[in-house]
Structure 1
Amino acid sequence: MQIIKSIESRIYTIRDERVMLDFDLASLYEVETKVLNQAVKRNINRFPEDFMFQLTSFEWENIRSQIATTNSPNLKSQIVTSSWGGTRKMPYAFTEQGVAMLSGALKSDKAINMNIAIMRAFVDIRRILLKQSNINEHLIEIKERIGEHDVQLNELYDAMDNLLDEKIAQLKWKDRNRIGFKIKE
């Protein structure tokens, strides 16, 4: 369970896709980022654009600022600053399908076992998101019901007010039953 939580913390949303970055995957597979990327390049036909893409500098800056706050140790190998302050190469992002394809490119037992754990982490995240969307749907339904009840209660209060007003108007002051002692004449 601890490994799945560790993996979940390395899943980011970029371009409306849940992805993992090459250096995080390399760290989990216990290989260098360069080795992972070389394996991908040797099997590039397995990684179409919807399985893997390279980050833009803008995307990388956004993610890097998020990662820097977590003090991730695996950034040391990835962030190599040059004289102009950029990185040598933008990292690659792998979608869930891209991560699944990595098991074919990296054939070690560690890579296979880690791949299984990563797939479980993606499934857990999907399950959490589905629960959250169900909860949101229930809240919307409750709001609508409450709104309907408010309308119905207001109609009921108005009807009661009208009935009371009619009853009071019907009573005449002189015709009312007197309360108290009656004196004989």
Structure 2
Amino acid sequence: MVLPDEVLISKIYYIREHKVMLDRDLAELYDVKPIRLREQVKRNMDRFPENFMFQLTEEEVEGMVSQNAIPSKKHLGGYLPYVFTEHGVLMLANVLRSERAIQVSIRIIEIFVKMREMLSTHKDILLKLEQLEKKSTSHDADIQLIFEYLKELLSPPQEPRNMIGFTRHDEAEE
């Protein structure tokens, strides 16, 4: 069983500042019925603190539908789904205790790690771009100032000048 990265990545959502997977998607990947997965979770609730698993609110589900993350609320089976973080996915494999669940969980964890590495790389690139932008902005101001000084040098202001030479007393300055 080889699951392409794209398939797994498409089932990861960002909710409440966590990367999570829907219980329905995990049940499909683990090859168990969603109701069986939820039963196992309910039997082992002490293994799933809020940072491992939480239930979506009506508003969050509506948001997922409006953003086309899921086709409709019917896709969820008529209930507010549970979502599992990276740690919850690992714990879920331990609770289900099937070979397939373990193998799929390993793949999912690898994807989460890859996503974290990519995000870290992108943050580094973004930081470098911001630094370059700040430098160019300060350089732009410096270059603008240099151009203003050059313009002043090339066309100095014309002040009225005194006439050079001798004037006769009978010629009065007017």
> Residue 143 of structure 1: which of 119, 124, 133 is its match?
133
How far apart, in 1, do the equivalents of 2:65 and 2:44 lie? 27
Of structures 1 and 2, the one scoring higher in RCO (CA 8 A, sep 6+) is 1
1:114 to 97, 104, 108: 104
Counterpart in the other structure of 1:96? 86
Equivalent position of 1:152 in the other structure = 142
Q: Distance in 2 between matches of 1:64 and 1:38?
A: 25
Residue 41 in structure 1 maps to residue 42 in structure 2: yes
Question: Unaligned 5+ residue runs, structure 2?
Answer: 165-174
Indicate yes or no: 2:68 matched with 1:68: no
Shift of 1:2: 5.3
What CA distance in whole angstroms lies between the structure 2 residues aligned with 1:63 and 1:141? 35
3-state SS of the aligned residue for 1:68?
Answer: coil
| Separation of aligned partners in 2, 1:98 and 1:27 | 16
Deviations along 1:139-170, one digit per CA (max 9) or x if unpaired, are: 2111111111111212222232333345x99x
CA deviations over 1:15-53 (Å, ceiling 9, x no partner): 121110100000000100011111112221110111111
Identity across aligned pairs (percent)?
38
- TM-score normalised to structure 1 length: 0.75
Aligned residues: 158
Aligned CA-pair RMSD = 2.7
For residues 83-108 of structure 1, the C-alpha deviation after alignment (integer angstroms, 9 at most, x for no partner) is: xxxx2x21101111111111210111
Residues 54 and 92, structure 1, Cα contact 8 Å, conserved in 2: yes
Amino acid at match of 1:49: E
1:128 counterpart = 2:118? yes
Point out where structure 1 has 5 or more consecutive residues left out of the alignment. Answer: 80-86, 175-185
Q: TM-score, normalised by structure 2?
A: 0.80
Do the aligned partners of 1:11 and 1:18 also contact (CA within 8 Å) in 2? yes
Alpha-carbon distance between aligned partners in 2 of 1:2 and 1:37, rounded to the nearest angstrom: 23
User: Which residue type is aligned with residue 88 of structure 2?
Assistant: G
Runs of 4 or more above 4 Å deviation:
none
